[in-house]
Amino acid sequence: MDTHVPADPTIGHNSRTELDATTKALIEQAVKDALDPELIAAQLTEDEKDALKRLRDLNDAFDRWEKSLGFALDASGNPTKVRNPIRTEGDAKKTTTFTGQLKALSSAADKRRKVEKGRYDAAGKAAHAFFNSQLIGPADEKVAILEGALTEYTRHKIAEERLKAQRLADEQAAAARTVEAAAQKAGSAELMEQAGVLADRAEQSQSRADGANANLGRVTGTFGGTSSAVTVWDFKILDEGMFLGAVLRGDLPREFLTINEGAIRTAIRRKANPLRDQEKHGLRIFDDVRASVR
């Protein structure tokens, strides 16, 4: 009895429907059009035409607001670009209303921006995830392992090559001195010439022993590719107190320290912060007033 069951063409990889060339071309063009920056900008300009008109009106109103306050005059009585301050409650009320209108327009536009941007972010994230998870990530993971193994080998090779070159340089230099001494004793120009050749070889070997890591650690792959020794400078703080002191004294560049403004602002916003309204440890924390329209 034949129990063989033919493979179901709808199972596994075979279930994927192949698209004809025309359909593929239409899909590709639709995707390109959907992601075309110029088409996106043109569509948004059309969709946001009312908001753009509203902003133009508010810009005109802003110019009128500045003119209503006037500008300070210079010594010759000519207006400068320095705007006069708000002096009356009436002007402050008008300014508050006007500010609220601009903030409302900006806030509403930002909400629509997030919606529009989200559509393209999803496509970007899909492409990013595909390449990182399917190609770049797996390849880089293996590269890290392989280069780690090569790094260990390269360090060993450089040490061996440097030692071998130094040993050869020492031997050639010793031979050059021996031949030179014999040449001087015998008064032989021929021996003196040989001593010079040996001295040149010793110098070349010494140059290799003192040479760059890249030259000593280079490995050429069997089927292409070259592994080179790359010198990477790194650092480690051995004594934090000593390090900070050196920076403050000017022994090290001031740029080596970066003030964490975010951490400071978070700390001083706490109502129970003991540092408020004090000057301690070279830090002054104080309150400031700024207008904010809701």
Least confident of 10-14, 38-42, 167-171, 172-176: 10-14
In this predicted structure, what is the pLDDT of residue 17? Answer: 59
78 vs 285, higher pLDDT: 78
In a domain, 15, yes or no: no
Q: Are residues 87 and 116 in the same domain?
A: yes
Q: Are residues 180 and 199 in the same domain?
A: yes
- For residue 27, pLDDT over 60 is answered with yes
Domain boundary, last residue among 93, 116, 139: 139
178 shares a domain with 134: no
Determine the average pLDDT of the residues in 265-279: 68
Residues 210 and 244 in one domain: no
Beta-bridged to residue 279, according to DSSP, are 284
Say if residue 184 is in the same domain as residue 106: no
Please tell me the distance from the alpha carbon of residue 189 to that of residue 283, in angstroms, as a whole number: 80
> What's residue 4's pLDDT?
44
Residues 125 and 207 in one domain: no
Same domain, 66 and 129: yes
Note whether 120 and 194 are same-domain residues: no
Number of domains in the chain: 3
Residue 228 reports pLDDT greater than 80:
no
Burial state string for 7-43 with b = 16 or more CB within 10 A and e = fewer than 16 = eeeeeeeeeeeeeeeeeeeeeeeeeeeeeeeeeeeee
Query: How far apart are the C-alpha atoms of 69 and 91, rounded to whole Å?
Result: 9
User: What average pLDDT score do residues 215-230 get?
Assistant: 75
Q: What Å distances lie between residue 251 and 201, 256, 259, CA to CA?
A: 44, 11, 18
Same domain membership, residue 66 and residue 107: yes
Residue 61 lies in a domain: yes
- Strand 226-227 with 219-220, pairing: antiparallel
Q: Is residue 57 in a domain?
A: yes
Percent of the chain exceeding pLDDT 70 equals: 90
Name, of 16-30, 134-148, 219-233, the range with top average pLDDT: 134-148
Q: What is the pLDDT of residues 43-85, one digit of tens each?
A: 889 999 999 999 999 999 999 998 888 888 888 888 888 888 8
- Domain membership of residue 261 (yes or no) is yes
Whether 102 and 66 map to the same domain: the answer is yes
Is 8 a member of any domain? no
What are the beta bridge partners of residue 227?
219
1, pLDDT greater than 50:
no
259 inside domain = yes
The answer to which of 30-44, 156-170, 186-200, 240-254 has the lowest mean pLDDT is 30-44
Point out the domain boundary residue: 91, 111, 139: 139
Alpha-carbon gap, residue 242 to 291, rounded angstroms = 44
Q: Give the whole-angstrom CA distance, residue 286 versus residue 15.
A: 68
Same domain, 117 and 210: no
5 in a structural domain: no
212 is a domain residue: yes
Q: Which of 168, 238, 233 is nearest to 207 (CA)?
A: 168
Q: Are residues 195 and 265 in the same domain?
A: no
User: What is the rounded distance in angstroms from the CA atom of residue 204 to the CA atom of residue 216?
Assistant: 14
What's the token pair of residue 209? 């022993």
Among candidate residues 164, 147, 175, the one with its CA nearest the CA of residue 211:
164
Q: In the predicted model, is pLDDT for residue 13 greater than 50?
A: no
Band of the pLDDT at 20, cuts 50, 70, 90? confident
What is the span of the domain harbouring residue 152? 148-227
The stretches of the chain forming alpha helices (DSSP H) are 21-34, 37-47, 49-69, 89-130, 137-186, 189-209, 213-216, 240-249, 261-268
Number of DSSP helices (H) and strands (E) in the chain, helices first = 9, 6
Biggest alpha carbon distance in the chain? 113
